[in-house]
A = this chain, B = another copy of it.
């Protein structure tokens, strides 16, 4: 079909050259996809890793590329059309992201009742983008399902798992790309080894156990990336400030009333940032960010085992507010100057936090006769087993001048915190 014709290359610092078809080019050139150029991949991380200015745009191109590599190398028969669909779904999987990516997620949920994946489906199937997809001979609704890992026709569930699953192209790309741009170094994972050992077992995507070392590397890389980038004390501090500013300037942010995909997509990092800077309720916070007067972490505690009490406490916003007030009262400062952060808390959520444990990674081994036998990875790899475990961090943030008091007050309320606060930019 003519629309699979090779159009040209895009240069990418990670993979070298990404080949595009005419179809892909048409879709990349829509405002929906181009908008991702103005949505940073890791809002807040640049305050620790100055070079982490990459955007969702590069990421979705990379995910599309890897989607193609997986489709081409899987030892099953896929038609050119199926391969094209996988690439398109990977390309569009993040099209619904709000400004500042995951940071905005709780506001989406609170005001629009949707998460970014819902937004992706909405945009793919009900905006001008849908028309372009249709013009190119594809079914926008089908692509929208595939883009969030839920293909309509369940006969080939592995197609959806390429986009969203235990070792999908989204994760593989972001682990490598975030590492490249931050320089953090955890993400030098050999994703191609993983891909070249993928197969389909009972309709599901699975990895040959011979790639176990690579799988362990990927899982550790993801784990360390959470700790060193996404959950970094300073990154989270900036994110809490931005969230406060967004809440304060809410009336100026019509994105939260968006009735159509197009109204929603008028907003990006640039427009939101500019609004926050001028809105009278948020501009002081933005001035502080601009002068790098950041909230400081006065208390931090990490849990590697599920603490039932703590967990139930922190899923309830009222309890959190109460604790903030209690700490404030003990520290004798206004409770508005206290912020408790738990990465999985709805108030400062982080998409990934929910599934940090790669619980059901499907692996198989091949018998001498070539049969593929599913294996339980937890039994084969103690590293994976451990990293599947629970990790939660509780932090208390406050202004620099209150740090000492809040630290002590928090220890009285939340228990002793073992480790020092260290220098890191």
- Determine how close the nearest CB of chain B comes to the CB of A78; give it in whole angstroms: 17
Cα distance, A304 to B180, chains bound together (Å): 33
A270 interfacial contact with B, CB 8 Å? yes
Within A204-252, the residues touching B (CB, 8 Å) are 208-210, 213-214, 216-217, 220, 223-224, 227-228
Contact B35 A290 (CB under 8 A): yes
A29 interfacial contact with B, CB 8 Å? yes
- A304: chain B residues at CB < 8 Å are 382
Q: How does the 8 Å CB contact mask read for A173-214 relative to B, with 1 for contact and 0 for none?
A: 000000011111110111011001000000000001110011
- A30: chain B residues at CB < 8 Å are 291
- A279: chain B residues at CB < 8 Å are none
- Determine how close the nearest CB of chain B comes to the CB of A183; give it in whole angstroms: 3
A21 interfacial contact with B, CB 8 Å? no
- A385: chain B residues at CB < 8 Å are 386
- Known A-B contacts A269-B270, A304-B382; the reply to A58 vs B54 at CB < 8 A is no
Contact B188 A213 (CB under 8 A): no
Beta-carbon nearest neighbor of A17 in chain B: B192
- A113: chain B residues at CB < 8 Å are none
A273 interfacial contact with B, CB 8 Å? yes
- A293: chain B residues at CB < 8 Å are 29
Contact B51 A54 (CB under 8 A): yes
Beta-carbon nearest neighbor of A389 in chain B: B382
- A214: chain B residues at CB < 8 Å are 185
- A386: chain B residues at CB < 8 Å are 382-383, 385-386
Of the listed residues A49, A269, A419, the one surrounded by the most CB atoms of chain B closer than 10 A to its CB is A419
- A213: chain B residues at CB < 8 Å are 186, 224, 227-228
- Determine how close the nearest CB of chain B comes to the CB of A277; give it in whole angstroms: 7
- A367: chain B residues at CB < 8 Å are 420
What are 12 contact pairs spanning A and B, CB under 8 A?
A: A12-B183, A13-B180, A13-B183, A16-B192, A20-B425, A25-B425, A31-B287, A53-B58, A216-B220, A271-B277, A365-B418, A368-B420
Residues of A within 8 A of B (CB): 7-14, 16-17, 20, 25, 28-31, 34-35, 37-38, 46, 48-51, 53-55, 57-58, 61, 180-186, 188-190, 192-193, 196, 208-210, 213-214, 216-217, 220, 223-224, 227-228, 269-271, 273-275, 277, 287, 290-293, 304, 365-368, 382-383, 385-387, 389, 418-425
